[in-house]
Every structure is written in structure tokens, then in C-alpha cells.
Structure 1
Amino acid sequence: MSLTKSQQNAQKCRDFVPTIHTAPYKTIEPSLASLPFPFVVCIIGGRGAAGGGLARAYAKAGASGIILAARTRIALEETSNEIRSINPKSKVIIAECDITSEDQVQSLAETIKVEFHAHLDVVIVNPGYSGAMIPDVVQESSSDYQNAFNVNTIGVFHAAHYLLPLLVATNSAAMSFIAISSMSAPSVSGPLAHAHYCVSKAAQVRLVEMIYEQYSSKGLFCASVHPGGLRSEFSKTAPEWLAKLLVDSPDLVGAFCVWLSIPSESNKHRQSLNGRFLSCKWDVSELAAKFEEIIEKDLLRFRIAVD
């Protein structure tokens, strides 16, 4: 059966470079990273598969401060203990924060001001809500649609609204705002194209593009990052055929995000990839070979074709 145009585009996005990774590799190994000091990262959604991978990566890279936030404090204890064992010198703060609550995200910003004297280098927003995978808007639940937008889109807005001022005021060379996205965001058809998740993630990507337009001139790097296929809470409700494909290490997305947020003398990776949709599975050396093409053709952004 031939693929539709949208399915072909989704396949091209997944295979943007020849080499697709499933685990960290030497080029992006966090323990070999050189982070400035101090270096403070806030991970909202700092538990579970992706959250744990992100926290471990920044601990291995030597972040001096790590804020882990999630809806329940107890869910963060295991992650915080793990990263303290990886990097005993890192100051680790855990905070209850439901990203759908504007008041709680504002409170998180106040915690950062108190605990780290308002110093903040990187924000990673790792929201995720998906109900049943039903590719039919008639059969989908309206509550799933509302919850998906509250978490996946409005939650990212809350994080940007209250944490971007801290990033800009800190004005470090590593200044980054990264949203953990999904390869579902550019998908509109196929067995996984359940609208509440795909549409809310697409809106999230568009929000990140707008943040780029508004704040890149102030030195901000931002990106939407596909975390790979992870065995997470979401995968518990996935069909068996899909669950078998979820083989990527959660440490890969952590290592990739550390690589993205490291300032360098040339900063070519941050200049070329700023404001774009990325996959942590793409080999970064092969990605670097496409930097000029990405800029020239303005790739890895959402658009409406008119020609």
C-alpha cells in the first residue's frame, strides 16, 4: 500500500539523517561535556522515563544546580536520590508543580529565585498527556482533548511566561528553553494519529517557534525535541505492536539536550537548530553536515505550503 503525502513527510522527518540512535554515544556523552559554572537547570516533569534521563544527563555533565518539578513530591524522591549519587556536588531541589496550574508554575519561579538567587541557565519542559489512542475524532473523548491541551500546550505557555524572565535576566551563554515534544506532532494520519495528542503537541511546537521569534535576539536558544520511543507510563496503554517498538534509552534524550544547551566558541549547532523541531535519535555529526541546508531551506519548522 502506497503512503500518503503526509505519511511520506512523517517518514522523512523520522529519517532526517542516515544514522538513527537508540542510546547515548561518545559525541554527546554528558560526562564529557564542559558546562560553565554555575549552571542551573530546571526540569519540569523530572520523573519517569524522559525526566529521569534528563536529570541523569545534567548530573553527569556537572550541573551545579538541578530543580526537579512534578505534580507530586514523592514521585521526585527516587530521581533526586539517584542524581545526588551521580553528582554529590550538585544542589538538587525538588518542587511540587502541576504545569497546568499558573499559580504553581509561578511558585516554582519563586523557588528558583530563593534557592538559586534567580540564576537559571536551562529550562526543560517535559509535559505529557495522552488518553486512549483512537484515530477518530468522533470516538475520542472531549475530556482527553481538553486535558491534552492543558498539559501539552498551555502548560508550556505557563513555563515560558514565568521562567523566561529568569533565563533572560541570567543571560548566560547556555540560555535555553527546550520542550520535549513527539514525532506525533507532525503526524496527521496513520494508526497513531489520535487528534488530542497530535494536535496539542503540534500547537506546542508552534509555541516554541514563536518563542524563538520573540526571544532569540536576546540570546535564547529554544527547540522542540522528540525523546525517542520510551517505555513510560504512556506505553502501558499502547497496543502491543507499538510497545515492542519502544526500545530507546531514556538517557539518549538527556544526552542530546545537554549537547544542545552547551555553549561553544562557534555555537554553530545552537545557531542552526534554534527554534526548530528535532529528534534526539538523529546523529549529531550528520546533523551538523546539514546545518547550511537547514538554514537555507528553513527546514524543521511547521509551515503552510502555498507554492
Structure 2
Amino acid sequence: MHPAPSVILFTVFSGIGFGMLVFLGLGMPNVSGWTAFIFYAIAYIMAVGGLLSSTFHLGHPERFLKAFTQWRTSWLSREGILSVATLITMALFAASQVFMSNTIAPLGWLGALLSLGTVYGTSMIYAQLKTVPRWNQPTTPALFLILSLAGGSLMTGNVTIALILLLLAGALQAFVWFTGDSRFQDAGHTMETATGLGPIGKVRQFESPHTGTNYLLKEMVHVVGRKHAQKLRILSLLLMVLIPVVLLLLPFTHIFGAFAVLSHIAGVICARWLFFAEAEHVVGLYYGAR
């Protein structure tokens, strides 16, 4: 799949932003006044900014409101509705923390649950696609959720929780890569199944479907060299997990904390680029690629 920058930024930053809202909704940390305002401002900038960046991938961004009408069948629509419900709920909860001495805890719990639901909705946009076997598995939503919570715990200063989640995220990411490499083959997709001509015999491509590029090649077919993929996997784990964990284990300073956050975000961006670049769509079979 084509790793579009707008979608990468959307899934990374909205995930971290909603992860922050989970912990803020649970009172971790329990903030008030201007401190609460700063925390929520950062969370909303990341969550809303990520959502807005996704519109740049639309053919007609001005029609984005139509995405909210297909909630019965579309995970994209469900994600949109959940995100709006989350942002409204958490805005009310944030107002209670910024302007009131007593917070409304149940409202925060609801907002935290909706935040998790929004990240899950985002993940299911990809996990539901049977045409992309690498994504079509339960580990896809699990990885989105754990990375969201890991980033959110880092941004909200929950160091102990962040350490645990970072290590779990690294282990799960490595498992996803290890098992994902064989999922396309295990799914049994071949030129014979793609064309429906398998009963006749072996199918081979006589010539390319056309001489120029098209939408399918641009969006669905992207080939990344295995050597490059392995190097990027190692780099993403170093940035996403190892460096932040080492920095968090050192005596805390704001500089170390900032570097841990920046390193983690860079690593997640790298891993998310691979998430799209390594995804083999069955349509690639028609073009001699996966």
C-alpha cells in the first residue's frame, strides 16, 4: 500500500492525542487550572490535528461530512462519530477541571472509554480489509491501542505505566512483523484465485494490463526492499522503545522526558510507514507485484 504522509500523521498523532485523553479522563494526572488547560491543549492539538491531516488524503475534502452518514457499514464513519463524541465529552470534562474545583469523574471515565473506542475505530478501518492479509488480524487493533496508550502515558508523565506499555508495544510490534511476512502466502492468494481461472490451470501474466500508471498502482501497490525493511524495523524499535525506556530509567529531567517523547514519536512514524509500505494488497497480483 502507498504510505501517504497525511494518513501516517493522522494515525500517529491522533492516536497519541486520544491516548492522552484516556489518561486525563482517568485522572492520571489529576490536574486543574492552567496545568489542566495546557495538558488538554496539547492532547486536542494532536488529536484534532491528526484528524484534520487525514482529510488531505480525500479526493474531495469538502465532502468530509458525508463520511458520518455511513455508520452502519463503514468503520471510517464510526471512527468519525466516535471522535466527535469523544472530543465533546472530554471538552466538558476539561472545562470542569480548568474552571471548577470539583471534577465530574464519571464524565472523564466516559471520555476515556470513548477515546479508546475512537482508536479502535481507526484501527478497524485497516483490520477489516480481507484484501490485505497483513492487516486482517486481531493484532492490528491491539497494536494501535497499545501504541496510543504508550504515547499517551509518556505525554502525561505516567512513567511506570509508560515503561510497561513501551515494552509490550515493542514485543507486539516484533510479533506482528514476524507473523505478517507470511500472511499473504498463508491466505492462499495467487494469480489463479485473483482471476478465477485456477480450475483451468496455471495462470501467468502475458503482458502488463496497461503501459502507464493508474489509481490502483498509486494507492495499492508499493514495494519496499526486504533489506531496507529490516533496517527500518530495527530503527523504529530503537526509536520507539529502546531509547525512551533507557531515558525513562535514568534520573528524571524534563530534557530526558522530552527526548523520550520525541524519540518515541519518530519511531512510531517509522513503524507506521512500514505498516502501509509492507501491506500487500491482492490487486498487486494483476500487476506482477504484491
TM exceeds 0.5? Answer: no
**Structure with the bigger percentage of strand:** 1
Structure number with bigger Rg:
2
**Structure with the bigger percentage of helix:** 2
TM-score normalized with structure 1 length: 0.30
